[in-house]
Chain A
Amino acid sequence: MRGVFCGGTTMAPQYVRFIVEEVLEGRIGFYPTYGNTLMGLAASVPLKPEDKFSITYYAPQPRAVLRVVNPQQTSQLVGYGEWGRVELTTMTKEFFMPRFLERDEAIRRPPREPYAWDGVAEVRPFGAMEKQIVEGVY
């Protein structure tokens, strides 16, 4: 086994650390992704020590654009490092879907090599801190 490719569930930093350090023991690659059929896959950037196991995903622009917006005022972006609701815009030849509010929340992160656009970090179900959410494929 050379690497683990995963997605579809919340990846809190301590859980990422558990997988990287305890399960894969730093010897096997770990590649979390975020996405769905409307977006394609948003890849995560390789972890650096300063990330403290916080995973950031970058949308496959220009086909799809991810923003993190204020849930109460969805025309406004939240600041870098702040939590907000994930908003997806799909722009492919076959399909145009502007500003769809996902059932997810995330932290807004600044651009990072090799991506020149914002990232979304620590994605989890929208309202996860307020109530118990059943996660899964839907």
Chain B
Amino acid sequence: MSFVPHIPALRLGKAYESLEQTEVKDFHTGEVKATVSQVNAGILRKDLQRVIESRAATDKFSVAQLLEICAKAGEQFLNGTLPLGDKGLTQTPKQFVESLSATSGLPHVMVRRNMARIHAALANMRAILNGLTRGLDLSILDRGHGEQFGTTLNFFPTTHALGVVMPSNSPAVNSLWLPAVALKTPVIIKPGRDEPWTPYRLIQAFIAAGAPPEVFGFYPTDHEGAAAILNLCGRAALFGDKSTTTQYANNPAIEIHGPGYSKILIGDDEIENWRAHLDVIVESISSNGGRSCLNASAIVVPRYAAEIADALAQKLGPVQPTKLDDPGAKLSGFANPKMADAIDATIEEGLQTPGASDVAAKHRQGPRKVVFDGGTYLRPTIVLCDSFAHPLASREFLFPYASVVEVPQREILKQIGPSLVVTAITNDAVWTRELLAFPHIQRLNLGPIATMKISWDQPHEGNMFEFLWKRRAFEKG
């Protein structure tokens, strides 16, 4: 038996060992931690012709039964020893943490936090569906129609399967596709090249909990294969940066999960208290190693920008890389050092444009990009920008990075652009009304709430129920 696990493709639940395999390597040592079977777009196109059979498998379950399966799958994912690959190997939670950490650069403590987040999503699936459906009697989806809210309701599925093109940056993003299973929809996943671990373990957890294997497709593939998923699944979710997502931006069948550009705004009425809010801002910038689209990447204030930038830099600048198993670890390594090179170069290039300074530099006492224990890291960076027009003001990077920009309160909403999350620290009633009416914020926190905080019953990034089911007018004679 091989000690290097082989992770097969799962062709509608059936393991497929390809003759083409990639290696997932320890980002410190280069040791191969797993091989992953790769399939081409042709295999995807062929399998997607049969996906209606997978849909039939989920239709045998009621939503209530699928919710029970979700809860059990959450337990299995967090605590179970589950199959790893097709060679008889298994994986304990500890091994999952170690493998994912070693190949992604995410410290153990952050992997565990991501696991807890996924577990909570599965355990709270009933509340999530309640939020997504606004309290719909879910048995109506089993029957196809029913009476609620004093009217007749009929919903039909918009697709036979949900395609998901995953990133490699943060395991918890997998929680976004989980509601599809409870909503009777098979899931066709292209894992991130460097992160097969989480979706594969989740699928095994679902199967161990009683879900039919054919509900899950796991297709490590190339760009052409990803395009096949996006174009043929009927409904798909795409994670990626702007260059990846732009071509699909106007396709209503594809839900884009691109950069978050999440922000913290402070109003005129609270700006004198800015010191009291520093911890919330620091957490928003640096939690999860700054790798999430929920992390704040811009701090927008009407006054004291230089003082706030310096105070943030004092707290974040000295943060150093640590051993992966350090419980106090705050930075993630880069599985692909070239990405760190590119980010570092982009920031340095941006700093050449007048109007911005890296305030954290003096507190870092060393370069931004460092090699520690064989891994490449970027240390926190706070850039003070003189306006939103500066090229570094509206950027988001895969490490603790934020700009601090001084903008008069009356101008802030005109300048900030779209944001996944905005935390607005203000008690100003007029500005609060403007914020509540502002359409380019997907989740609004009023008050000193970290941007990373999410609620299970409130979708903040698209509504998976409305994506997968549609209501139509209906009458039964």
Give the interface of A toward B (CB within 8 A): 12-15, 17-18, 22-23, 52-53
> Are the C-beta atoms of B18 and A22 separated by less than 8 Å?
no
Question: B52 interface residue, CB < 8 Å from A?
Answer: no
Q: Which of B39-47, B247-255, B354-362, B460-468 contacts A (4 or more CB under 8 A)?
A: B39-47
User: Which residues in chain B, 25-69, are within 8 Å of chain A measured between CB atoms?
Assistant: 38, 40, 42-43, 46
Q: Which partner residue on chain A sits nearest B21 by CB separation?
A: A14
In the bound complex, how far is the Cα of B46 from the Cα of A23, in angstroms? 9
Question: How many Å from the CB of B53 to the closest CB on chain A?
Answer: 17
Q: Is the contact region of chain A dominated by helix, strand, or loop, or is it mixed?
A: helix
> Are the C-beta atoms of B42 and A14 separated by less than 8 Å?
no
Give the interface of B toward A (CB within 8 A): 18-20, 38, 40, 42-43, 46
Residues of B within 8 A of A22 (CB): 42-43, 46
> Are the C-beta atoms of B46 and A14 separated by less than 8 Å?
no
Residues of B within 8 A of A52 (CB): 19
Q: Which partner residue on chain A sits nearest B40 by CB separation?
A: A18
Residues of A within 8 A of B38 (CB): 14
> Are the C-beta atoms of B42 and A13 separated by less than 8 Å?
no
Question: How many Å from the CB of B18 to the closest CB on chain A?
Answer: 5
Q: Which partner residue on chain A sits nearest B42 by CB separation?
A: A18
Q: Which partner residue on chain A sits nearest B37 by CB separation?
A: A14
Residues of B within 8 A of A17 (CB): 19
Question: How many Å from the CB of A133 to the closest CB on chain B?
Answer: 16
In the bound complex, how far is the Cα of B225 from the Cα of A18, in angstroms? 14
9 contacts between A and B (CB under 8 A): A12-B20, A14-B20, A15-B40, A17-B19, A18-B40, A18-B43, A22-B42, A22-B46, A52-B19
Q: Which partner residue on chain B sits nearest A53 by CB separation?
A: B19
In the bound complex, how far is the Cα of B410 from the Cα of A100, in angstroms? 75
Q: Which partner residue on chain B sits nearest A54 by CB separation?
A: B19
In the bound complex, how far is the Cα of B18 from the Cα of A13, in angstroms? 10
Residues of A within 8 A of B46 (CB): 22
Residues of B within 8 A of A18 (CB): 40, 42-43
In the bound complex, how far is the Cα of B46 from the Cα of A9, in angstroms? 22
Known: A22-B46, A52-B19. 12 other contacts (CB 8 A): A12-B19, A13-B19, A13-B20, A14-B18, A14-B19, A14-B38, A17-B19, A18-B40, A18-B42, A22-B42, A23-B42, A53-B19
In the bound complex, how far is the Cα of B43 from the Cα of A18, in angstroms? 7
In the bound complex, how far is the Cα of B43 from the Cα of A52, in angstroms? 18
In the bound complex, how far is the Cα of B38 from the Cα of A14, in angstroms? 9
In the bound complex, how far is the Cα of B42 from the Cα of A23, in angstroms? 9
Residues of B within 8 A of A12 (CB): 19-20
In the bound complex, how far is the Cα of B43 from the Cα of A111, in angstroms? 33
Residues of B within 8 A of A53 (CB): 19
Question: How many Å from the CB of B46 to the closest CB on chain A?
Answer: 5
Q: Which partner residue on chain A sits nearest B47 by CB separation?
A: A22
Q: Which partner residue on chain B sits nearest A52 by CB separation?
A: B19
Question: How many Å from the CB of A37 to the closest CB on chain B?
Answer: 31
In the bound complex, how far is the Cα of B42 from the Cα of A17, in angstroms? 12
Q: Which partner residue on chain B sits nearest A19 by CB separation?
A: B42
Residues of B within 8 A of A14 (CB): 18-20, 38, 40
Question: How many Å from the CB of A71 to the closest CB on chain B?
Answer: 24
In the bound complex, how far is the Cα of B42 from the Cα of A13, in angstroms? 15
In the bound complex, how far is the Cα of B43 from the Cα of A17, in angstroms? 11
In the bound complex, how far is the Cα of B21 from the Cα of A14, in angstroms? 10
In the bound complex, how far is the Cα of B39 from the Cα of A15, in angstroms? 9
Residue among B18, B19, B40, B42 with the highest chain A CB neighbour number at 10 A? B19
In the bound complex, how far is the Cα of B41 from the Cα of A14, in angstroms? 12
Question: How many Å from the CB of B316 to the closest CB on chain A?
Answer: 40
Listed from nearest, the 5 A-B pairs whose CB atoms lie closest are A14-B19, A14-B20, A13-B19, A22-B46, A14-B18
Question: How many Å from the CB of B118 to the closest CB on chain A?
Answer: 32
In the bound complex, how far is the Cα of B19 from the Cα of A12, in angstroms? 9
In the bound complex, how far is the Cα of B46 from the Cα of A36, in angstroms? 33
In the bound complex, how far is the Cα of B17 from the Cα of A53, in angstroms? 13
In the bound complex, how far is the Cα of B20 from the Cα of A18, in angstroms? 11
In the bound complex, how far is the Cα of B20 from the Cα of A13, in angstroms? 8
Question: How many Å from the CB of A54 to the closest CB on chain B?
Answer: 9
Residues of A within 8 A of B42 (CB): 18, 22-23
Q: Which partner residue on chain A sits nearest B41 by CB separation?
A: A18
Question: How many Å from the CB of A62 to the closest CB on chain B?
Answer: 34
Question: How many Å from the CB of A23 to the closest CB on chain B?
Answer: 7
In the bound complex, how far is the Cα of B18 from the Cα of A73, in angstroms? 35
Residues of B within 8 A of A13 (CB): 19-20
In the bound complex, how far is the Cα of B20 from the Cα of A22, in angstroms? 16
In the bound complex, how far is the Cα of B21 from the Cα of A52, in angstroms? 14
Q: Which partner residue on chain B sits nearest A12 by CB separation?
A: B20
Q: Which partner residue on chain B sits nearest A16 by CB separation?
A: B19
Q: Which partner residue on chain B sits nearest A25 by CB separation?
A: B46
In the bound complex, how far is the Cα of B222 from the Cα of A15, in angstroms? 14
Q: Which partner residue on chain A sits nearest B19 by CB separation?
A: A14
Residues of A within 8 A of B19 (CB): 12-14, 17, 52-53
